[in-house]
Amino acid sequence: MSPMSQAHIDSRERISEAIWNHWRLNNLPEIGRTVEPLRLQYVSLTDFPRYLPDFVYDRVTGLHLENISFEPRLHPDAAVAQPVDLSLPRQLNNTFELAHFLQRFPNTRSLRLISEPSAGLDPQSSVLLNLPQWVSSTLPQLNELALINQNIFLDQMQMNHFRNMPNLRTLDLSGNRVVSMMPMDLDWLHLDRLVLERVGLHRWPAWLTNLIPNNIRELSVAHNNLTELPGWILDNPPSTGNQTLIDLRGNNLSRQTAIQARINESVSSRSFRFLMDTPLAVQAAVNMQLRQGAELIAVLDEWSNASSSLSIPSEHTLAARRQIGAILINHWRTFSLGQIHDPLRFADIALVDFPRNLPEFFYRQVRHLHLNRITGTTAELDQLLRPMTELSSLEMDGHVTPLGQLPPALLELRALRSLSLNDQGLLLDQQHIDFFSRLPNLERLELENNRLGAINSLSGLRNTGLTWLSLSNVEMSEWPTWLDDLVPGQLTTLLLESNLIHELPENILANPQSQSHTEISLLNNPLSEETMHRAQMSERYGHAYSFDIEVPPELAQEWRENADTDDSDDSTSDYTSDGSSASTPDLITVEPWLDESNPLSGERRAIWEQLEAGEHADHLLELISSLRHSADYRNTTNRAAFQERVWRVLAAVNQDPQLRMTLNAIAEEPVRLLRDNFTCSDGVLLEFNQIEVLVFTRQTVQDVVPERRGAALFRLTIRLYRLSELDAAAREQAGARDEAEVRLAYRTHWAGVLDLPVPPGGMLFEAHAALRPGELDTALLRVQTGEQGDPFLSFAAQQDYWVGYLREAHPGRFDALERVYRTDLTQLTDEFEQRNINLDSPEYEARIREFEARFKNQQATLIRELTNAEGLENQ
């Protein structure tokens, strides 16, 4: 017999020591019997004794096999051995060796098989073949199984082998590979603990959601690449008797995900608990919210069961209080999660059941209040509203009993900008107008579905910021003269829909030229044919009014035919539609954009003349000239700021010929549409706003201060994402409506809340957007939700300036991926050359595509991780 190598000697010594340790720990009652597994580390199974007493095998109930091999192997401190040929026959032989070894331990209930971590995804690099199949058939009685770092591709076929292990309670598959988007059906799997650490998850798989909380008590997905969790898990629904502990440590979860998980798990009897890494700043914010939530819940618990010395609350009262309490707690949770503009909504409640003394912080959190068919007195309504000092909008719709008097508390709400008192049984008279006139910040007033009483004047409303007034369905039979107090002038939108108006007065039909503009909606009124015709024919650029009316199709056709014979060029409406005759282009001149008192006027005139004389600016200058009909120009209060916005664009294109060519090309299509009357001033303003955003983005990237680069570029990316997602929501919801009007309405409404870049100041035809109740709130929620998850991360990864910054800030992380990728390619090429396979072969090309796809996926994962980290640091 030839002498043994040192590797054989070392392996056998470790095996001998492991067997004696196991015997000593498990078989000496004098020192206390344990259930320690047989631990074999850095050994070759070929060195394990072929014959041992039966009691040795019988008393082994657990096996811990770490970094085992099937041939003599060096200890990690020794010299590195040459790579082993992992051909299919060798893999099969190794697997047979392992199965034969495992069969010698019939009482084993626990198996842990651990190898060194590997970045490879190729199953051919595995030492063993079809490991789940062999283990499940050899040791079906296991209740604990760990197959760690075994290069197993965890698909449906591999997972199905575990169905043959009915006693399995713990399954650890860490360090293998799962494809997040690959569907699987594992509803049969019931475990106390499932471990999927380091399996390459970058999205939460749907099949995993189906397993919790009913099938799995503990789930670990630690140390993956998750950035967000499914909404259902974050919402953390009430438990139906089962609860799952989810370990998320080592994942790059967004700030909002961490906050939402922490806050929602604080409510008792939820379906999920979480282990996660929470930055100190985030934990401090969560702790503050939880303290407030605990205070609110304590107050509500005391109130819901409170009784007086005179009476004990009825079951009906207790149920009503519980319902109101649940709504209040849900609003606190929503606010705590960052949705600070989500309305507090109540329907069909009695104000007598509302708690009297909520914590002060809660009242301050209510920005928008919606009340539908509530029951109560004016005093009770006043008591409800008075503490809500930050209330920005109040919507009351429907009534049980008429609102006899307006609550005085409204006069104390200095933040109130929007007031809707629809269908409140009001008889609108002068005292109501005088009351509204005392709300200095009021911008929007809706009084629909009430009745019109005696009103003398609206002049008091000039002391407010009112721009939108709705008097739809108030039984108005003629145009009241008191409306002339606000038009043309203050109001940009006046809704008189569903009334009984037959004629319009001469001063309205005359539609004079005006710097101001009011859109008047007269839908569903019995207007005379002459009134409709004169109203439509009166609409021209720069005139005071545009009218939204329903014209019968036959009349519209007759008017179009008559218009075709009219040579007049000044019959172009502010709001145009398909089929209108083409308009004469406006005179292209710099004059509307200059303020001679401004010392920059001379320089700016020179810029215009240079652009006019040069190339690739004609469409852009024509687009800008047409902007003098837009809402932002016609609003004299905003005009100076709008002029500055225009000059920022012109100065930028004057300095950058390439940018000038790009923006001129962008302007070409809206200019053509305007000439052909297929778009209106709002459409042109929207296109200019798109141009502004491009210039703003370019200048922000160029001018950013180096020491604040990360924070500034992250903030830019957030703002651009919000704009992009808001536009996407508008496009999806527009339907048959004018898409440009819907997009512009979304932008103007949420510009301040979302901090949109260079937002438009206003629009001329908001009524044409025909926004539905709740539509704007839904769009805002979509933007805010996406900002905290995958939609924003995907958007950020598409921004070249942001990816460029990440590469510069973290070069080592990207270089490491590049080195591994290049090394893999070199090794692959060497392998094929050694196998004498042509590099043009389909097999080689397929492997190359595999490597490229993996490299791109790794880069994308890294970009998501770093973007999330920047968010935690800069938000």
Catalytic residues: 680
Phi, psi of 322 (to 5 degrees): -65, -40
Looking at residue 222, its amino acid is A
Q: Among 629, 549, 631, which residue's Cα sits nearest to residue 587?
A: 629
Calculate Rg over the CA atoms of the chain.
36
Whether residue 177 contacts residue 198, with contact meaning beta carbons closer than 8 Å, is answered with no
Measured in degrees and rounded to the nearest 5, phi and psi for residue 347 equal: -135, 135
Question: Helix, strand, or coil here: 452?
Answer: strand
Q: How far apart are CA 92 and CA 424, in angstroms?
A: 81
Contacts of 414 (CB under 8 A, 6+ apart): 389, 440, 441
Across-strand partners of 419?
394, 445
**100: enclosing H helix or E strand:** helix 88-103
Amino acid (1-letter code) at residue 52: L
**Cα 471 to Cα 446, 461, 475, 521, distances in angstroms:** 7, 15, 9, 10
Judged by DSSP in three states, 420 sits in strand
184 conformational bin, left if phi > 0, alpha if psi -120 to 50, beta if neither: beta
Nearest to 644, CA basis, from 714, 593, 708, 574:
593
Q: The tokens 């999920």 sit on which residue?
A: 272
202-214 burial: b if 16+ Cβ within 10 Å, else e = bbbbebbeebbbe
Minimal CA–CA distance to 873: which of 334, 221, 252, 260?
252
Is 687:670 a contact under the CB 8 Å cutoff?
yes
d(CA 63, CA 45): 13
The span from the CA of 128 to the CA of 94, in Å, is 6
Tokens of 28: 């000496």
Instruction: Say if residue 488 is preceded by a cis peptide, omega within 30 of 0.
Output: yes
Q: Which residues contact residue 47 at a Cβ distance below 8 angstroms, ignoring those fewer than 6 apart?
A: 8, 11, 12, 15, 72
Are 61 and 27 spatial neighbours (Cβ–Cβ below 8 Å)? no
Residue type, 628: R
- Give the integer Cα–Cα distance in Å for 503 and 531: 6
For residue 665, give Cα distances in angstroms to 320, 453, 584, 615, 617.
62, 55, 21, 12, 9
Cβ–Cβ < 8 Å for 864, 797: yes
| 176 DSSP assignment | S
Per the CB < 8 A criterion, the answer to whether 716 and 804 are in contact is no
Determine the length of the chain: 875
d(CA 874, CA 711): 6
Q: Rounded CA gap, 734 and 744, in Å? A: 11
* Residue labelled with tokens 């007049």: 568
Q: In this structure, are residues 744 and 690 in contact, taking their beta carbons and an 8 Å threshold?
A: no
State the residue for tokens 């098989």: 113
677 token code pair:
């009357």
CA distances 396 to 7, 329, 408, 420, Å, are: 84, 21, 16, 6
Helix/strand/coil for 31: helix
